[in-house]
Amino acid sequence: MTLSLISPTEFNLLSQNQKTVLLDVRTPVEYAQVHAQKAVLEPLDQLDPQKAASRHGFSKQDAVYVICKSGGRAKTAGQKFIDAGFEKVISVEGGTDAWVAANLPVVRSASRTLPLQQQVFIVVSIMILSGVLLGHFVHPAWLLLAGFAGCGLLFAGLTGYCGMAMMLAKMPWNQVKFKDQTVTSCSIDSSKRSKSCGCGS
């Protein structure tokens, strides 16, 4: 059994005519910043297919839709469901980035926290710059720091998995307050979110 694909527009139309379950497998901070209007949070690093099915009321015979940022983590999550015996697992092609680009309904946070990807870029840039400067003025061994940062970016680009992003997501400033204690809740404090048509405004 293989993971199927559906475009954001096709899923949006489908969800208007029948009951669907869309699981967002990004980190809580990414989900809080912007997510497809009907998506519910199931972080990849905590994903248990059986528990997710129980929480959201679907069975192994029902269609399960997964979405992430651009497709990489959704593929991994989809494989977890397939390995657990779920019969119809579908990834939203292009992820949340494609959903937003298609001007489909989203929920946006009013938080001023920098997007997680932007935080990663800042940290990696500091590592590379520090490695180059220290390698030139202090000791050549410091160049390994720049090389390590570059390898991390290469790995993230090839696999869709970014360890730096996972680490930063656990930092205090990236913690998201939910109405209950589980990160699977899609009910973010209404005082900290606003709805948008996804046009990027």
Is 68 assigned a catalytic role?
A: yes
Contact 67, 51 (CB under 8 A): no
The one catalytic residue in 68, 151, 162, 186 is 68
Residue 198 vs residues 35, 36, 122: alpha-carbon distances, Å = 9, 9, 25
Residue 48's CB is within 10 A of a number of other CB atoms, namely 12
DSSP, collapsed to helix, strand or coil, labels residue 160 as coil
Positions marked active-site: 68
